[in-house]
Amino acid sequence: MENKKQKRKLWTGALGYAEAWVTVAGLWLIGAALQFMNGPFPDVAMMWPANIIAGSVLVAAIVLLYFFNRKKAWVKWLAGVPVAIVSLSFFGLLSVIMALTPQQAHLDPHWIMDLGWNQMTSSYPFILSYFFLLVSLGFATMKRCFPWRNKNWGFFANHAGLWIALWAAGFGAYDVQRLSMDLYTGQPEWRAYDAKGQIYELDLALELKAFIMEEYDPKLMMVHPKTGQIYDAAAQYFLTVENDSTAGNMMGFDIQVKRLMPAAAYVADASNARYEEVNQIGAAATVYAEVTKPNGEKVEGWVSAGSFAASPAWLMLDSTHTLAMAPPDPKRYASEVKIFRPEEETSEEALIEVNHPIKVGDWKIYQLSYDAEKGKWSNLSVVELVRDPWLWVVYIGVFMMIAGAVYLFTLNKDKVEPSKQA
């Protein structure tokens, strides 16, 4: 390709890595100065319609500057590989700093906050590096796509796809709304709150009909009776109780389950204190187990996980070992809700489950959490409402990149030399 010639021109035109690094250093300095003077970039400044205006200006600038200056050395430089590598490195370097610094509003020492490293995505240097990457990627895409050649489809899918995804994700981030809503059984709710606690009244209401939770089989574990510490969970010190005859060995103790009750309650009968299967709020998984100690001695008794309404039951084995039951692990949980939309005078029922959000108008509604102490008897379900008007644009980019990744497989032919277009 014409790469050889271009390379020579670039070098003789004296625009290459050195200039790219100088540009990056300049951007970082300017960004740091802005950060120092203003603090974090104010999100409100870029909310709709400011972001679509700024984003469109960027698109127009890249397209027009490219078409009117495509022969100029600086445009070739911006569209070339050195700027691509340096802008990727700059963005990568700031990402490494972000990855090593806890991202939270307040962080000591103070100079980290002055530089904006604790809230990297709202810091001026990060925004400038994002901008530089978009410029480099934008010009590179223009260069390869005009004039269009069919064999460049893979390049186009990769580069334009990434550009679109980055552009929409970056500019669109300011319009993403994430609100939480606390739903209590039987009480319609139309208020939601954001991360800062600000309350919003919505044009839809949700009523929790029922909170549903399925749990995994209960697990027996070994606990130190004095310290209350669980013996190393990573080793094989757990025994999952699947049925009435589960047996196993934990730390030298032979455990034989005699009876498993998924929901039981303690019956305080003086002559025959026991657990019995019940169907009531707070009933906990309980087993009756027989344990043979390493010295051959046998002990038997009740072991119960307990719940917010019942105490757990432990079986003392010796001075350092107690048999206990772990709190049940949730398998799936979901909210049966009724949705009211006054404007449309409708109400419908739906199930919101983890990994299965529902769509209501512009909102996607997610199962977020519940009252962990009450577990499956929780009468509170927290759902999250998310609105992202730019999502479809991001997805266009994402699907182009998926196509581009498939193209990368086709590069894997011996006839493609690294020096040719990759």
| Interface positions with another protein (CB under 8 A) | 7, 80-82, 84-85, 88-89, 91-92, 95-96, 98-103, 120-121, 169, 176, 178, 216-217, 233-238, 240, 329-333, 353-357, 364, 366, 384, 386, 388, 391, 394, 398, 401-402, 404-406, 408-409, 411-412, 417-419, 421-422
- Residue 88: both structure tokens together: 């990727």
Judged by beta carbon, residue 27 or residue 250, the one nearer another protein is 250
- Residue 322: both structure tokens together: 């107690």
Q: What are phi and psi of 270, to 5 degrees?
A: -55, -40
Give least dist CB 329 to another protein, A. 4
Judged by beta carbon, residue 265 or residue 285, the one nearer another protein is 285
SS3 227: coil
Half-sphere exposure of 198 (CA within 13 A, CB side): 5
Compute the residue count for the chain: 422
Give least dist CB 292 to another protein, A. 20
SS3 168: helix
CB 169 within 8 A of CB 394: yes
Residue 178, Cβ neighbours under 10 Å: how many? 13
ω into residue 109 within 30 of 0, thus cis? yes
Give least dist CB 238 to another protein, A. 5
Give least dist CB 260 to another protein, A. 16
Judged by beta carbon, residue 161 or residue 306, the one nearer another protein is 161
Displacement of CA 316 from its chain's centroid (Å): 42
- Residue 115: both structure tokens together: 């530089």
Give least dist CB 68 to another protein, A. 26
Judged by beta carbon, residue 188 or residue 357, the one nearer another protein is 357
Give least dist CB 248 to another protein, A. 10
Q: How buried is 263 (Cβ within 10 angstroms: 0-12 exposed, 13-18 middle, 19+ buried)?
A: middle
Judged by beta carbon, residue 238 or residue 278, the one nearer another protein is 238
Give least dist CB 264 to another protein, A. 21
Across 99-194, the runs of DSSP E, i.e. the strands, are: 177-184, 189-193
Q: How buried is 287 (Cβ within 10 angstroms: 0-12 exposed, 13-18 middle, 19+ buried)?
A: buried
Distance (Å, rounded) from C-alpha 361 to C-alpha 376?
30
Judged by beta carbon, residue 265 or residue 335, the one nearer another protein is 335
Judged by beta carbon, residue 274 or residue 356, the one nearer another protein is 356
Judged by beta carbon, residue 198 or residue 412, the one nearer another protein is 412
CB 98 within 8 A of CB 92: no
Q: Which candidate, 197, 194, 209, places its Cα nearest to that of 386?
A: 194
